[in-house]
Structure 1
Amino acid sequence: MTDTTLPLLQVQNLSISLPTRRGLVRAVHGLDLTLARGETVGLIGESGSGKSLTALALLGLLPEGAQVAGSFRLNGQELLGLPERDWCRLRGNRLAMIFQEPMTALNPVHSIGRQVAEPLRLHRRLPARAARAEAIALLERVGIARAAERFDAYPHQFSGGQRQRITIAMALACAPDLLIADEPTTALDVTLQKQVLELIQELVAERGMALLLISHDLAVIAGAVQRTLVMYGGTVVEQGPTHAVFGTLAHPYTQGLFAARPQLGAGRVPGLRLPTIAGTVPELADLPPGCPFAGRCPRTIAACNAALPAPVVVGDGHTARCIRLNEPEPGG
């Protein structure tokens, strides 16, 4: 029985280490996350910050050799250490994911109808005819024209935008409690991005699911989620209500992300250059021992390398990890 008094998802002190040529390195460190039913949360940061790895951990799909510590519970059930047979009962059923690349997320040797119907037959035990009917209804719901006629078509016979819609239908087939969308609009043009995001939001609200939306696109996150977590170097450096995080920009890394956004018309201003964050994202084995942003941050001092900063309260439900958070800006 589902306990509605508990948060749907509780992640506490999640740490993930990966084997590399240079030994075991920590890729995600001390991540805390709570998601209630019907709540939407965004995860942003540069490539390599640990966003997708966090999502894979929540689905029990980490690469071989990965070591995980901490706790993550779904409606009170501990998932860490769960046997694979139990993960198989959850994935595609209570937990589902829209993967980043629609061109490769679908199996090219199976028809799209078979792929959408598969979780219905596997988890809900629907007979072939009932699964086909429901799969067609799902494909129609996500905007696939002539779904009944195209049920037996193959992925290569659809455009990128249509394939993304098909992956959404697959993820939603069993009405999961938690939907994870990992960069769901990366391969799409701007018009299709808007359509797909609106579709995801509409279906999440319609079915009362929780949504974890992963993106590096700040505009996508701004209009799609209630709370936002900013990740860098495997650590959440700032988190809070989306309007507060975007309105305050408390952490230097968050400030750098926003400053580096392309501005419409800015290219026409003579001599104006787009701001960038100094340096590059270090390899996991080269992350500093303290704040992961130390060295790239213009406000770095020796103490930044001593230890990971504790979260500092910025506002109601809004925190940031920075020891210099309440100091005046340089030159201020």
Structure 2
Amino acid sequence: MVAMSVRTDSSSAPYRAGFACFVGRPNAGKSTLTNALVGQKVAITSNRPQTTRHSVRGIVHRPDAQLVLVDTPGLHKPRTLLGERLNDVVRTTWAEVDVIGFCLPADQKIGPGDRYIAAELAGIKKTPKIAVVTKTDLVDSKALAEQLLAVDRLGRELGIEWAEIVPVSAVDAHRAIEAAKSRTAEAESGGSGAAAQAGVALPGQVGLLADLLVPLLPEGPALYPEGDLTDEPEQVMVAELIREAALEGVRDELPHSIAVVVEEMLPRTDRPADRPLLDVHATVYIERPSQKGIVIGPKGRRLKEVGTRSRQQIEALLGTPVFLDLHVKVAKDWQRDPKQLRRLGF
């Protein structure tokens, strides 16, 4: 469970539970913010736009509420069938959540992409909206103040009444969480997931954001069991961690055409109970034969690095030693092929 900042009147306030989603153009900090609020990685992050391909639910447990965060792909002008489907995911999510957080980076002026999304949000009348100015650690106080005023003007121009305008630095919050978790590592020795997060309070503006989201949720009982951090299947999360590692270092060389499918996850049967090992067999799909060498690297060095990096993340996620078997295959132009999109989980 992630311990969050609690209002002084929480004992008398009704318990609330509901869904919130973060929207914004690609690379606006939505996944990083989701991970910071949950206190653990449940959504992959990258400096490259369109990293998120699934609506990942991160679950924030509080004494007074359960906040279920739906992390959506960035809304963008689609160039492929995959892009069209990702936009459909965003719009469907907007129609189903209790509150929408619109993320705008503090270090970038409001542009056509932000206005396009804001105009669509203006048409959703009943759902409350919070403007979240992200990446505040990248700007000084003057630039931040100018961005906050610009966001306020954007809302007034389009007829959006922001429930709140909140500046946050998810990176600073993540560092504080990791520091707090490391201080309690001995007490949590052998634990993972929610257990390793017990007693970790979200600092600063990220904690405030959670406090502001909760009153906008409906009253009602918890939607997920205590301790659950996401409802994503483990195989999907493992595939996403591998894809994140595969993207690292090839953003300038390789188009955003990597997909990962976990074919099998099975415990090694000949291992003693005190020395378990999980066998994970996964395939990295790219669109063209010329991309294969980029992913594998000279003498297989790059694929080995991908395996090492993602295996460490997978072991941290699952709390067990992992043997990771990776293969690279070509699925020609899969982003434009409906049949292959279905096979790859889109």
User: Do the structures match in fold with TM over 0.5?
Assistant: no
| TM-score normalised by the chain length of structure 2 | 0.30
